[in-house]
A and B are shown apart, each in its own frame.
Chain A
Amino acid sequence: MSAIAGHGAAVHIERCGKTFPDGTQALAPASLDIVSGETLVLLGPSGCGKTTMLRIIAGLEQPDAGGRVLFDTNDMTPVPIEQRNVGMVFQSYALFPNMSVSDNIGYGLKIRGIDAKARAARIKEMVALTNIGGLEDRRIDQLSGGQRQRVALARAVAIRPRVLLLDEPLTALDASLRDRLRGELNRLLRSLGITTIYVTHDQAEAMELGDRIVVMRKGAIAQIGTPREIYFTPQSRFVAEFVGAANIVEGPVIGRRLMLTGGSLALQEAADIAAAVAMIRPETIRIVGQGDASLTGIIDSVSFIGDRLRLVVTGAAEKPLVVDAPNTIVAGIGDHVGLSVAPEAIRLLPRED
């Protein structure tokens, strides 16, 4: 494994935008620096420009005039994909149906003129790495979805790419398999140390795999940060709602307190605001005795999820609040409850009107 680990280019994207011939702008000019060996996740809903960004890095799309893509200090903008030395895993895997598993994995090596012996050794190494022993001579249509995904990854990594590009590699799989492969993929990417750019619309995937996450919306970058930064300190209502579950509440801030329909909550910030927007994560809201509570409401629904209880509380804020409570709490519909939130768990967001 040491033979493959620790070679990745730093990727610099400079003012790369993409406007299609019909005039639609898929990507507003954006700049992005990706550190060597880092796993960067491009996260966003469909049509946010994340795949376009990936394809520009790959060389499958050209950025609009003025945009540049650099690997370390090499300007790759005019270089076609076949000379960029990138490993790519497609959502549909793009495995060659006319070749066996081994031939698929070895194709990039063959193109590079690596002799049969060295090729066989590398294929063996990749098969072990991705856990697909015994499938070497199979045809692609004899593989399950999960096996195809592994072969596609083995094929992309076999060429020792400078940058590994993954375009929704787990989306085509069913949920339980997706969870398992996500863990495997995480371990593999950590051990390889290749610079990786990973596109997904699944925030759980982004959280688990990303060293940093780039949240994208409508062809522009909404926020860049570590998974923690994105989750705890979103800079916009969109990021707050897209990553994890979020209650968005509105009300005035008076004397370091956020005034809501069912009471008020203490804040860290000092300034008074006439109309503030704030995010509160459901798991940060605690159920407390009504006497101690500065905020009260009525339970509208209770769902037992297993590891926790999900309550919807009305009357506390303008819109119903979602509260994740411990699964040991006894709560019934119609009960009056007291709520408390730590000041640091309330995140004020800029107004967007």
Chain B
Amino acid sequence: MRDRLIFLGQLGFTLLVAAFLVVPVILSLSAGVTVNYFRGIQSGITLQWVRQVWELYAGEIFLSFVIAIATLVVTLVVGVPAAYALHVRGGKLSRVIEEIITLPLAIPGLAIALALLLTYGGFGSFRRSWLFILAGHVIFTMPFMVRSVMAVFASIDIKTLDEGAASLGASPWRRFRNVIVPNAMPGILAGSLMVVTLSLGEFNLTWMLHTPLTKTLPVGLADAYASMRLEVASAYTLIFFVMIVPLLVAMQMFADEGQKR
């Protein structure tokens, strides 16, 4: 009887916390399909706001995905070999470089953006293209990739595996493909998950770096909240959700698969 009470208490508390987190999301999402939010749901359900957002912001949504994927590609191509090199070389220099790569975690996005603007703002065509935002995203997300790959390297003695493959005649590139990348896969997947999610949702840095022609999803969302009716902004949230949740779930499944192997 007492155990049951404790269990019910815990269940109730958990549900309360969950509700605290989920109810605003539901409210926001339902606002996106309500004809008039101030009159409530009885005013009718409509997809006109969603359609309107799509017409207005399809470009931003598209650009967001382009940047997220480009960020992922750059962090993979640069981050995985970098993590390997840092792990194998070891020593003081590697520690220092690792700290420098990790620095953007501690620095506010606005400060990074400001630094980028000060340094590269003069290069007009770079400043105006989406590559400028890509640069910011890569700086911001790189530590997540490098760190999660290095964590895996630390747990499997990758250096000896590499030496083993070398003794069997494999060239450095072949060892990287056959031994290092497959065994680092759980870390690579976890890192990719972080990078894509962070890039899609990144606001601080992007807001500073964007031009009217290079807006991403979250910047567009801020725009919509600031200048449109609440229903449009909510419909925007709905689209954002529909886009990002399946992605998150898919990558989480990949990551679980990687853990199981």
Contacts and interface: CB of A to CB of B under 8 A. Distances in A.
Nearest to A97: B183
Contact of A108 (B160, B169, B171, B261): B169
A98 to B, nearest CB: 4
Interface string A53-90: 00000101000000000000000000011110111101
Contacts of B178: 96, 107
B251 interface: no
Interface in A79-118: 80-83, 85-88, 90, 92, 94-98, 107-108, 111-112
Contacts of A165: 167
Contacts of B179: 96, 98
Contact of B167 (A58, A96, A98): A58
Contacts of B168: 82, 107-108, 111, 155-156, 159
Contacts of B183: 96-98
Given A96-B179, A98-B183, A111-B174, A88 B164 contact: yes
Contacts of B182: 98
Given A97-B156, A97-B183, A111 B170 contact: yes
A82 B171 contact: yes
B165 interface: yes
B256 interface: no
A95 B163 contact: no
Interface string A153-165: 0011001000001
B97 interface: no
Contacts, number: 61
B144 to A, nearest CB: 23
Interface in B160-197: 160-161, 163-171, 174, 178-179, 182-183, 185
B169 A96 contact: no
A82 B176 CA distance: 14
A83 B169 contact: yes
Nearest to B161: A94
A193 to B, nearest CB: 20
Interface string B143-167: 0000000000000110011011111
Contact of A82 (B157, B161, B166): B166
Interface in A132-177: 155-156, 159, 165
Best-surrounded residue of B166, B169, B174, B261 (most CB of chain A within 10 A): B169
A111 B161 contact: no
B160 to A, nearest CB: 4
A206 to B, nearest CB: 23
A97 B153 CA distance: 13
B163 A90 contact: yes
Given A96-B161, A98-B182, A81 B156 contact: no
Contacts of A156: 167-168
A58 B170 CA distance: 14
B160 A92 contact: yes
> Which 9 pairs of residues, A with B, have the shortest CB-CB distance?
A94-B164, A108-B168, A88-B167, A98-B182, A111-B169, A94-B160, A81-B166, A82-B166, A82-B169
25 contacts: A81-B163, A81-B166, A81-B167, A82-B168, A82-B170, A83-B169, A88-B163, A88-B164, A90-B164, A94-B161, A94-B163, A96-B161, A96-B165, A96-B179, A96-B183, A97-B183, A98-B182, A98-B261, A107-B168, A108-B169, A111-B170, A111-B174, A112-B169, A155-B168, A156-B167
